[in-house]
């Protein structure tokens, strides 16, 4: 394969078609079963740019088309108190949050800052408006990053997400929000964003199907590899859409292909927030489809009151080639589900031990890890990466207070 200009190509895992990236493609041009495009990089060995900090240290494995600057990145650390409590000597936190004392300074307090940088690095500056959907965290990260570059951006959110969205400084006038009103869910916001993205002058970001979003999150695994010199045996993360889990698996695939990190994938241990756990139900039934497995309806979700609302996706990329089902199968992984009480207990435990508040999704992940360890399903001595996808929000809240610029309010389209 010859690379000219861009240092990567897009690869369809279903038909093997390789294409030059136009910066916004989210699907293969050939007709076949749905699949998630992957990036194939010119540089096959794992390399680190020691001249910079954060995620751009791994620029050779990021789909960069446009100039971006950032020092945000994942911090790999160990909590002596948590390790002692769980008796897990080789547990490390892949920490994405705001904890300055430990070197973590993500502006939104979540891993969505990694996604935002990668999305903007890939998206072409051709005058089109970038359209994205969010349940809250992506909105803050992407809106702030897009404002920095004055990139026309429209973010669609359900009305229920508005209390979670605020900014430390005014957004650029090119960044706007559309609110889906009433009992709208994250999936309603996705539908609206896709429809807007079909109009002339707009481009839908793509969610989990955007290679930039996944490779941006994938730098969490790369940071672990740099810090430890190896892949973890287990990678634990809470999932809603599951893009972070797929990203970790894809990063591990590149590491294995480099020849320097063995030949075994980290076992994915994915955690959902019961009672809303469509991925858990599908995997437990060994179903090839989330639709075929028992799961709540949109109406039931509205009344479920899961503590981690950002995990409430009805349509995760489970079935496509290269999606969650493939990642779980290839990694010999597993899915569990924990209720709100377990998540609250895990959050209280972490704050008691370390003095930092966890985002609800991160608390779900920790609760799932505790459940797996106590049940004996996960060996205490194993090398474990626990992805803390958000933390330290309470420290950031005093710095926020500016609401988003709302361009329109629309009703959900459930036709």
Query: Dihedral through CA 88, CA 89, CA 90, CA 91, nearest 10?
Result: 50
What are the residues whose beta carbons fall under 8 Å from the beta carbon of 291, sequence distance 6 or more? none
CA-based nearest residue to 246, from 277, 282, 207: 207
Distances 52 to 117, 121, 193, 220 between C-alpha atoms, Å: 15, 16, 35, 16
The pTM for the full model equals: 0.94
Residues of the chain with CATH 3.40.50.1100: 75-109+211-396, 112-208+401-410
Domain 112-208+401-410 has CATH 1.20.950.20: no
328: buried, middle or exposed (CB in 10 Å: 19+, 13-18, 0-12)? Answer: buried
Rounded distance, CA 229 to CA 195, Å? 44
Q: What pLDDT was estimated at residue 307? A: 85
* Predicted local distance difference test score (pLDDT) of residue 302: 45
Tokens of 218: 């994938």
Q: What is the pLDDT of residue 135?
A: 85
Q: In this structure, what are the phi and psi dihedrals at residue 75, rounded to the nearest 5 degrees?
A: -105, 125
Ranges of residues in the chain whose predicted pLDDT is under 70:
1-5, 292-304, 415
**In whole angstroms, what is the distance from residue 58 CA to residue 71 CA?**
12
Tell me if the domain spanning 75-109+211-396 has CATH number 4.10.93.10. no
End-to-end CA distance of the chain: 45
| 396, two tokens | 């950031």
For residues 50 and 297, what is the distance between their CA atoms, to the nearest angstrom? 48
**What is the DSSP annotation of 213-248?**
HHHHHHHHHHHHHHHHSS--SEEEEE-SS-HHHHHH
To the nearest 10°, report the CA torsion of 350, 220, 78, 95.
-30
pLDDT of the residue at 299: 43
Q: Is the dihedral of CA 244, 249, 252, 257 positive or negative?
A: negative
Q: Using one digit for the tens of pLDDT, what is the confidence trace for 229-249?
A: 999 999 999 999 899 999 999
| DSSP run (H or E) holding 122 | helix 112-122
In residues, how long is the chain?
415
* Distance (Å, whole) CA 89 – CA 82: 9
20 secondary structure, DSSP code: -
Tens digits of residue pLDDT in 362-373: 999 999 999 999
Query: What is the side-by-side strand order in the sheet with 18-19?
Result: 18-19, 8-11, 38-41
């Amino acid at each position: 394969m010859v690379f000219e200009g861009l240092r990567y190509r897009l690869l369809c895992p279903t038909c093997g078609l390789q294409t030059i990236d136009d910066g916004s493609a989210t699907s293969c041009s050939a007709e076949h079963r749905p699949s998630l495009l992957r990036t194939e990089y010119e540089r096959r060995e794992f390399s680190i740019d020691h001249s910079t900090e954060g995620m751009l240290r791994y620029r050779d494995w990021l789909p960069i088309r446009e100039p971006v600057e950032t020092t945000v990145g994942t911090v790999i650390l160990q909590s002596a108190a948590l390790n002692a409590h769980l008796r897990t000597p080789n547990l490390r936190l892949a920490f994405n949050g705001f904890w300055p004392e430990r070197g973590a300074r993500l502006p939104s307090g979540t891993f969505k800052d990694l996604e935002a940088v990668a999305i903007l690095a890939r998206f072409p500056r051709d005058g089109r408006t970038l359209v994205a959907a969010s349940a809250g965290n992506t909105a803050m990260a992407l809106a702030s990053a897009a404002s920095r570059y004055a990139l026309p951006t429209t973010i669609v959110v359900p009305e229920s997400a508005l209390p979670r969205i605020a900014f430390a400084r005014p957004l650029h006038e090119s960044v706007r929000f559309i609110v889906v009103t009433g009992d709208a869910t994250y999936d309603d916001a996705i539908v609206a964003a896709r429809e807007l993205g079909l109009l002339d002058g707009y481009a839908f970001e793509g969610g989990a199907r955007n290679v930039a979003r996944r490779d941006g999150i994938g730098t969490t695994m790369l940071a672990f590899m740099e810090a430890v010199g190896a892949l973890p045996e287990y990678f634990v993360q809470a999932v809603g859409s599951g893009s972070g889990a797929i990203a970790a698996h894809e990063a591990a695939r590149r590491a294995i292909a480099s020849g320097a990190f063995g030949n075994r994938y980290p076992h994915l241990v994915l955690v959902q927030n019961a009672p809303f756990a469509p991925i858990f139900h599908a995997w437990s039934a060994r179903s090839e489809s989330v639709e075929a497995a028992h799961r709540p309806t949109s109406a039931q979700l509205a009344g479920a009151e899961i503590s981690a609302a950002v995990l409430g996706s009805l349509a995760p990329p489970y079935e496509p080639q290269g999606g969650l089902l493939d990642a779980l199968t290839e990694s010999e992984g597993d899915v569990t589900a924990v209720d709100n009480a377990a998540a609250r207990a895990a959050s209280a435990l972490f704050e008691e031990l370390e003095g930092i508040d966890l985002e609800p999704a991160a608390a779900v992940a920790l609760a799932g890890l505790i459940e797996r360890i106590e049940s004996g399903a996960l060996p205490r001595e194993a090398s474990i990466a626990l992805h803390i996808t958000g933390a330290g929000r309470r420290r950031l809240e005093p710095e926020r207070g500016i609401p988003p610029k709302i361009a329109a309010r629309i009703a959900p389209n459930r036709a």
